[in-house]
Amino acid sequence: DKKFYDNLYEQYGFKKDEINEIIEPLIQKNFEEIFNQIISNSLSGKKYALQFEKDLLTIFDNYWGFFSHHTGQKKRYKEGGGAYSDIFLVTKEKQKCSLVDAKAIKNYALPNNDRIKMINSYAKNYKELESEFNYKKLKLDFILYVVGSVNYKSEIKKNCEYISKEINNIPVSVISSHNFVSLAKKYKGHKYQSEIRKFFCKSGVL
């Protein structure tokens, strides 16, 4: 934030480069702690599932520069009831949006109940979130599940393809928390948002 730098310069005479030299290692250390926490919480079951959602949002928001909204605890009060995906993402250009679901589960296989929720509720009603957060004419870009670990022996790839087919071929993918963290470590910063978006626009297991 420009005001942060201006205040330090006015009060103490510190220049921006001098400030960055001090705070950047601290910021990086903070993210390293979040990375470790993401992997740990993703395998916790219900115990730290909510914190898992919040930490993922932090990465999408602060690390990759998406407009990120935590929607997992929001209830639908319109006809049909139900809920929303855990995270609602919007690109920095405010033209595309995505749905992220966090599953603090080992050996995740995208079971039938989760498929039905995504098809009949989350993907179907994302326009309500667009309206609530004051966006306009957003195009649904991708749907992503971030999970503790993937059950590679299951039909998870086929399950992703099934959801995609049912929602107008929007890409649907699953990534383990470990691979999610590896991706974040490789692509550090808002400037990589476009590359991250393209990566998540692939279907299947990432």
Q: What is the pLDDT of residue 80?
A: 61
pLDDT at 3: 85
Phi, psi of 67 (to 5 degrees): -75, 115
pLDDT tens-digit readout, 147-204: 999 999 999 999 999 999 999 999 999 999 999 999 988 888 889 999 999 999 999 9
- With a cut of 70, say whether residue 21 has pLDDT above it: yes
Q: Which two tokens stand for residue 162?
A: 């099934």
The C-alpha torsion from 136 through 137 and 143 to 145, rounded to 10°, is: 0
Cα 94 to Cα 6, 81, 146, 165, distances in angstroms: 29, 27, 23, 25
Q: Any idea how long the chain is?
A: 206
What does pLDDT average to over the chain? 90
Per-residue pLDDT at 28: 65
Distance CA(80)–CA(120), nearest Å, equals 10
Over 70: is that where the pLDDT of 105 sits? Answer: yes
Task: Return the closest-CA partner of residue 142 out of 196, 82, 74.
Answer: 196
pLDDT grade for 81, boundaries at 50, 70 and 90: low
Cα separation, 206 vs 13, whole angstroms: 47
Per-residue confidence (pLDDT) for residue 132, from 0 to 100: 92
